[in-house]
Structures are given as structure tokens and as C-alpha cells.
Amino acid sequence: MTDATSRVRLCFIRHAQSEANLISHTICGQNNSCSLSPLGHEQAVLLGKRLKYQNAKFDYFLCSTAIRAKQTADIVLKVMNIDLSKLITTAV
């Protein structure tokens, strides 16, 4: 049982721009092999810097197995100097 004063905070982050997002009228959807675009890499770095500046803390960082999501998470965590062992990409 959890303490009544315990609070859970969730932070949802969408993956940064993928190569597929550059193609008009294309949605990656079930295609898990789309990589980040150069702008997507920059977006992930900027997000990591912002979260670090805001002193964001994460017990865990859950991520889908999609390449674009994993790349975004890897970049954000590295910029924040968070151990990549906090990244969970498998079903829990």
C-alpha cells in the first residue's frame, strides 16, 4: 500500500522530428525503423538542456522500441547526464 501523501508525477515526451516527418503526408505509425532527422537531433538536445536547466528528476525513463523514440531518449538522457540504465525500452 502506498502512503496517502505519495504523489506520482509523469512527464510525457513525444519523439523529436523523424526523417519520415519530412515527407509530406507521411506518418510513421507502425514503422519503428524511422530515424531522427538532423532537426530532430537538435530538438532532442534542446529538450535535454531545458529539462536539465529545470532540474527535472526521473526515477525511470520509459520509451517505446521505435528507433526515433529511442534516439530521442538517448540524446535527452546524455545531455542531462542521466545514466542510460534508467532507460526502459521493454514492456514492464
- Provide the 8-state DSSP code for 33: T
21 lies in a domain?
no
22 lies in a domain?
no
SS3 1: coil
Domain count, the chain: 1
- Strands (DSSP E) along the chain, which ranges? 61-62, 87-88
82 lies in a domain?
yes
46 lies in a domain?
yes
The residue range of the domain holding 47 is 33-88
pLDDT at 91 over 70: no
For β-strands 87-88 and 61-62, DSSP reports them as parallel
Residues making up the annotated binding site for substrate are 14-21, 68
4 lies in a domain?
no
pLDDT band at 24 (very low <50, low <70, confident <90, very high): low
Closest CA to 48 of 14, 72, 24: 72
Model pLDDT for residues 25-75, shown as the tens digit of each residue: 666 566 788 899 999 999 999 999 999 999 998 888 899 889 999 999 999
77 lies in a domain?
yes
Q: Provide the whole-model pTM.
A: 0.81
Residues making up the annotated binding site are 14-21, 68
